[in-house]
Each structure stands twice: as structure tokens, then as C-alpha cells.
Chains A and B, each alone.
Chain A
Amino acid sequence: MITKTLSHFVLGLIVFIWVVPFVALVSTSLRSETEAKTAGFWTAFTPTELGHRFSTHDKGEKIKIFTMNGNIFDRLNKDKDSFIVSGEINSILIKQRIADPEKPGKTKLVRKLVPAGELMNVRGGDFIFSKDGSFTWTFSEETLPKPKNLDVFINQNPIFGTDAYIEVLFDNKNVPNALISSFIVTIPATIIPITIAAFAAYAFAWMQFPGRDWLFVIVVSLMVVPTQLAFLPILQGFSGIASWATALNQWLTDCEVKDTCQVASKSFASLWITHTAFGLPLAIYLLRNYIVGLPKELLQSARIDGASHLQIFTRLIIPLSVPALASFSIFQFLWVWNDLIVALYIGPNNSSDLVFPIRLQKQLGTFKDQLHLLNASAVISMIVPVLVFLSMQKYFIRGLLAGSVKGG
């Protein structure tokens, strides 16, 4: 019984640790800029004291008064249609000059927190405010006060909004472009390797040719070669091809060398083919093991009936191998979608064609004071892979197991 309770507790704790970061991510993305960068995400769910600045009245507003009545919340929420501040006013921070006790005849600037209900001197008038935000500013004679900016601390009610998402998705092209680029890269980089690998896997499983077993071992051991080892020569290769293509383009269309007919060496196409090559070893490993496991009698009877290898492959093997094909496509899709390093080296480097991980990596710098935008952008980058992952979890797990547990 004790072990049972302990199991619940320990597992609960671990799940809690795993989930809190997601809560942080989503809640930060739904807050206003000021809140996101001044108070931790855990304060977003309860009333929390936050600082704001309001001006007593508009700049152009010229009013001769003895008394001005207003409301701090109205002033703060002027021109706002989201993240409307509400709550309870705690205090106002006021800077005043007072006689310096240490240096007679001089004054010094002091900062003082004035609580609600306490009278304070603002521009020579008596300023008093209450917790609900209403304030009265009274002068002894008729005056024309300049607007005064005051820092106010409000015990603020929780408020969430989707402004950050609207901003990153519609006000700026970076995130939509990253999303489009990621799709452009990922879809072909998933389909091409799986097609090529299926043929090879079939050959490795059911065809006879000299050196078959050891070619297979070589192919599969390439799985662990660090891809970093290949980047520079691949890049040089692509630049070679690109300068060739540029020359050809020039010869065919006689355009200027600069800009117009320059063929880029780092492009979506170079990413497709590189990701294809890097994905092949795992694809062949998974598919071959699956195809070998299909009943041998199938192949034999099909051969006896006179089917060619191509017919067996397209009519028999492909339909039967759908689970293994699905497993690999998820791996490859997630891998390519989330890849940073290959895209960094081989992918296009003009700002509009950056894939999402590179964009996000850049935003870690550019949005370091706009955490709501950074987190919103991260959420958007995760939606696609998480949906794919959750909807096809079964195949993902099957693929993982096929790679690691014998006979799984």
C-alpha cells in the first residue's frame, strides 16, 4: 500500500516537472509584453503586483482647474483593446526633492512609495487616490497643470490575450515565411528518401546479388557517422555545381553575372538531397528488417506465378509495408522539421527562406526583451510536429522499438 502511494507521488512529481515548462511556454506567449518581461509566468495566474506608468491627462489637453478628477485605470486603458488592466491600486512611486539632512541648505531627490488614501504633493497640488483607481488633484488657486507621469503599482488581476500570436503571424513576415520554408524543406525531404530506401530495402531483403550482406552492414553503420564530417565537402560540391549552373545560365540567356543569373549554392534543393542521403541508412535499416519479416512463401508463390521483382515490389511489398513506411516517415519528418545544423550549413541563408529552427534561434537574440513574442513563435513552431507525433504515435513507437529491441 505504501509503495502504491509512493508510486503515485513519484510519478506525479516527475510528470509535474515535465509539464511545468510547457505551462511556462504557453502562459508566457499569452501575456502582454510588460508582464512577460517583468514578472515570472507563475505570477500570471493570481493577482500580482505589477508596475505601470500613467499620465494624469493628455498632453494637448489644456484645462484650467481647481480640481481634477480622474481614474488611473481609465488612463492606463486608454487606446487599449486588449490586456485591459484591472485590480487594486497599491501605491504610487513618487520622486520628490526634500531638504537634505546631511547637507544644510541643499535638497536631495528621494523616491517614496505612497499608499492609497495618503495625500501627496504633485506639481504643487494635493494628489490623492483610492484603491479603485479614482484620483483627485486639487490646487489652491486656478492653475493649468502640465500632465504628470506617475509610476503606479497595481495588484493586477490575471489577464491573457492572443496579441503575441497576431503580432508574429501577421505584423511581420518572419514567422509565416519560416513556416512555409519548413514545409517546403520537410515534405520532399521525407518523400524522396522513403522512395529510394524502399527499393534498396527490397533488394537487400529479397534479391540475390554479390556482396549483398556486407553492403547492407556498411549502409547501416553509416547511421552513426556524425553528419558534421560531411558538411564542408558537400558545401564545396554544391558551390561547384552552382557556379557551373551560373555559367550555363549566363551562356544561355546572356544575363549579367551579378544577381539575376547567379544560381545559389545553398538552396532548398541542396537541403532535400542532403537530408535524403542522411536519412537513408535508418530508412533502409527499418524497412529491410520489416520486409525480411514478411512471409517468404508470398515471394515464392508470386515468383512462381511469374511476377517480376518490380511487380512484387509495387503490388505486394509496398502495400504490406505501410506500417514500416509510416514509422520512418514520422522519424524523417520530425528530424527534418526540427533540424538546425544541416539547414545552417547547407540551407538557403537569405532571411525569407530560413527554416523555423534557425528563425527561432535568431529570435532568442532579437526577442530577448519581448518574451511573449519569443514564446508565441516557439509554440507555432511546435504545433505541426506535435500534432503529427501525437496522431501517429503508434507508428513512431513501433519504429523506435524496431530500431532498438530485437523482434519488437
Chain B
Amino acid sequence: MNLAVYREKKSIGRQSNIVEAIQPWIFVGPTLVLLLLFLMVPALSTLSLSFQESDGTLSSRNYAFLWDSSALGYLQFRLAMRNSLMWLILVPSLCIVLGLLIAVLADSVRWGVVAKTFIFVPLAISFVGAAVIWRNIFAGGGIEALETINGSTPSYQIGLLKSLLGHTAEYNEPLYSLKFWGNFFLMWILVWVQTGFAMVIFSAALRGVPEDTIEAATIDGANPFQMFFRIKLPQIYSTVLVVWTTLVILVLKVFDIPYALSANDDDKLLLATMMENARNNWSIGGDNVDNLYAAIAVMLMLTVVPNMVFNGWRIRREQKELGN
């Protein structure tokens, strides 16, 4: 291209400085407006709602469940926090251990890809769907009134696990309704869904471990366990951390599974289901239902904050490495 043509094109294509300055804002404008209107302003407005009475006067009454044992939601909040803590510890760690195990094993056998697909599929289905699926496994006895259906039947245990455990004929609760222990069956459903996520990430990370470190370890006579724990795991440590934060945030927000299977059971509450209960069932307790709801939402947000800070820090660091 000769210089004259180049100059000409440049002068045609060159946008004026004003356009140059405004254009980026047109590109990001819709995003900023939507995020402002649908996330940031509502979040702040929920925060302010949580410190108000229903008539708008300033009050800390909505948070009374934190210290006042006679306040609405006192017991539920404690149960929800207890359960959240159990979910927080068990679900991410089980997903990570299983995900790592499957990633390593699938790499060593020829049908690994098929195996991984099976583990992976639950990621595509809804939590409610997963609840329906696992209901078949965790169910209790068939139906209560045997006589109402065609006669009766000697084998009427319809839950696989109870049947394997040898429970027979009497009508009994599904396993996820058991007091306290029911929580673990609900957790397992989430583990079943999310292990595929951990597995995929770890699979890729393990493939990224430099060959020479593996070769060196092989030459030194490392056995498979040493290879994994001494060589591979330390090198994918940061990936494990990322998966862990993602899962923690997911668990804190989890709603569908306990809502679908044990919506009104205080013993199975998590913060998100407690919010829903506050909105639907506690109206007898006062007129500040929405404000109480807001207060629980703020508590939920507080549990996420440490992760948010960590995530923000990670993204900043990543952008520095990527962008510069």
C-alpha cells in the first residue's frame, strides 16, 4: 500500500476525538446500567431495608435473631448456620477428593473418557431433577396405606439404599428426612452433581504438569502414590484452591435441593431456604417480613465476602499476568 492511499484511508477512517472518547461508554453502557440496576442498587437497597422497620424507621430489630433467643428466627438461624458449616466442609472436600481420584484413575485406563462422560453428565441437569433422581435411591417404604392399592405386596421397599441396608416392610421415612443425618443425604446429591466439575478441571490441570518433573520422579523410582502426592498435587495446588472457592460459593448459595426435598423442615435449613421460609411462613410473626428477609440475605452475603475478596485478588493477579 503506498503512502498516499494510506494517508487517505487514515483520514477517512479516523474518528474524531469526541467519538473516540464516547464510543467505549456506548460499548460498556448497557452492561453498566444493567448491573447497576439489577445487582448493585438492589444489593444496597436490601442492605438498607435490613436496618429498617416496615414503616421505614431505623432499627436493628431484624437482626435480633443473632442475639435474642426469643426473636423470630433465632433457632432457625442457628440450625441454618450449623448446616451451612457442615455443607461447607463436606461438599467441597468430597467433590475435590472424588474429582482428583477420578481424574487420576481415568488417565490410567483406556475407557477413561467414557467414565469421565458419565461423571460429567449430572452437571447438565437441574438440582430439582437431581432431587427427583435421588428420591428413587433414598426413598423409604412404598406407600402408607397398603390396602388401598391392589391388594398388597411383600416387597414394597422402593428406596434402593434402605433395601440394601435391610429395612423392610413398615412404612418409613425417606433417608433425607432423618433428623440431623438427613442433611448428609441432601449433601450427597450436590456432590453427585458437582464432582464432574472438579474432575474436568483437575484432569486438565494434571495434564499440564510438566513432563520433565514426572520423568525425573519416574527415574528416581517414585511409586504412583508418591508420584501423585509429592510431584503432581503440589504443582496443581492453585487449581485446587480455585475449585475449592468456586464450590464454597456454590454451597453457600445452594437452595434448590433442600427446598425441593425438605422445604419446611427446620432441621435441614440453609440460609437460602431460611430466607424463603421467612418470606412465606413467618408473616404471623410481624409485619417486617421483607425486612427480616433482607437481614438474612445480608448474613448470606457476609458469608460470601471472604471468598469474594480472595476471588477479586486472584482475578487482579491473573489480569496482570495476562494483560500487561
Chain A interface residues (CB < 8 Å from chain B)? 3-4, 7-8, 10-11, 14-15, 18-22, 24-25, 28, 34, 36-43, 48-53, 93, 151-153, 196-197, 199-200, 202-204, 207-209, 212-213, 215-217, 219-234, 237, 273-274, 276-278, 280-281, 284-285, 289, 292-293, 303-309, 313, 334, 337-341, 356-357, 360-361, 364, 369, 371, 374-375, 378, 381-382, 385-386, 388-390, 393, 397, 400-401, 403-408
Contact = CB atoms under 8 A, between A and B. Distances in A.
Nearest to A16: B118
A232 B293 contact: yes
In the A-B complex, list the 3 residue pairs whose CB atoms are closest, starting with the nearest. A306-B13, A151-B151, A277-B38
B271 to A, nearest CB: 8
B86 interface: no
A344 B119 CA distance: 29
**Most chain B CB atoms below 10 A, which of A202, A203, A278, A374:** A203
Contacts of A202: 27
B200 to A, nearest CB: 6
A298 B249 CA distance: 38
Contacts of B275: 228
Given A18-B118, A207-B23, 12 more contacts: A11-B102, A20-B160, A28-B136, A34-B150, A38-B156, A209-B25, A225-B304, A226-B297, A229-B46, A293-B322, A378-B132, A382-B124
A274 B34 CA distance: 9
A374 B132 contact: yes
Contacts, number: 342
A203 B32 CA distance: 12
A404 B239 CA distance: 7
B193 to A, nearest CB: 10
Interface of B is mostly: helix
A360 B256 CA distance: 11
Interface stretch (B70-78, B177-185, B210-218, B310-318): B310-318
B82 to A, nearest CB: 19
B284 interface: no
A280 B272 contact: no
Given A40-B163, A381-B129, A404 B31 contact: no
B20 to A, nearest CB: 8
Contacts of A40: 155, 157-160, 163
B66 interface: no
A200 B13 contact: no
A232 B39 contact: no
Nearest to B203: A397
Contacts of B41: 233
B176 to A, nearest CB: 12
Given A199-B30, A337-B126, A385-B124, A220 B132 contact: no
A224 B307 contact: yes
Nearest to B307: A224
Interface stretch (B55-63, B87-95, B105-113): B105-113
A408 B157 CA distance: 48
Contact of A226 (B25, B134, B253, B318): B253
B38 to A, nearest CB: 3
Given A93-B152, A221-B315, A386 B124 contact: yes
Interface residues of B, number: 114
Nearest to B202: A405
Contacts of A93: 151-152
A117 to B, nearest CB: 20
Q: Is the interface of A mostly helix, strand, loop or mixed?
A: helix
Nearest to B298: A229
Interface of B: 6, 9-10, 12-15, 21, 23-25, 27-28, 30-32, 34-35, 37-43, 45-46, 49, 98, 101-102, 105-106, 108-109, 112, 115, 117-129, 131-137, 142-143, 149-160, 163, 192, 197, 200-201, 204-205, 208, 224, 238-239, 242-243, 246, 249, 252-253, 255-256, 259-261, 272, 275, 290, 293-294, 297-298, 300-301, 304, 307-308, 311-312, 315-316, 318-319, 321-323
B9 A224 contact: no
B119 A14 contact: yes
Contacts of A375: 132, 136
17 contacts: A18-B118, A21-B192, A37-B158, A39-B153, A41-B136, A199-B31, A219-B31, A221-B308, A225-B39, A229-B297, A230-B46, A284-B31, A293-B322, A334-B124, A357-B126, A382-B126, A390-B121
A309 B25 CA distance: 12
Contacts of A8: 109
Contacts of B200: 397, 400-401
Contacts of B124: 334, 382, 385-386, 388-390
Contact of B126 (A196, A227, A305, A340): A340
Given A217-B312, A364-B132, A401-B200, A224 B260 contact: no
Contact of B246 (A53, A385, A404): A404
Given A215-B28, A224-B249, A340 B255 contact: yes
Given A20-B137, A222-B40, A226-B297, A340 B319 contact: no
Contacts of B157: 39-40
B134 A11 contact: no
Nearest to B315: A220
Nearest to B32: A215
B150 A51 contact: yes
Given A277-B35, A341-B255, A226 B301 contact: yes
A372 to B, nearest CB: 11
Given A49-B153, A51-B152, A219 B242 contact: no
Given A340-B126, A360-B126, A389-B123, A292 B323 contact: yes
Given A11-B115, A25-B133, A230-B42, A356 B105 contact: no
Contact of B28 (A34, A200, A406): A200
B255 A280 contact: no
Contact of B256 (A217, A305, A357): A357
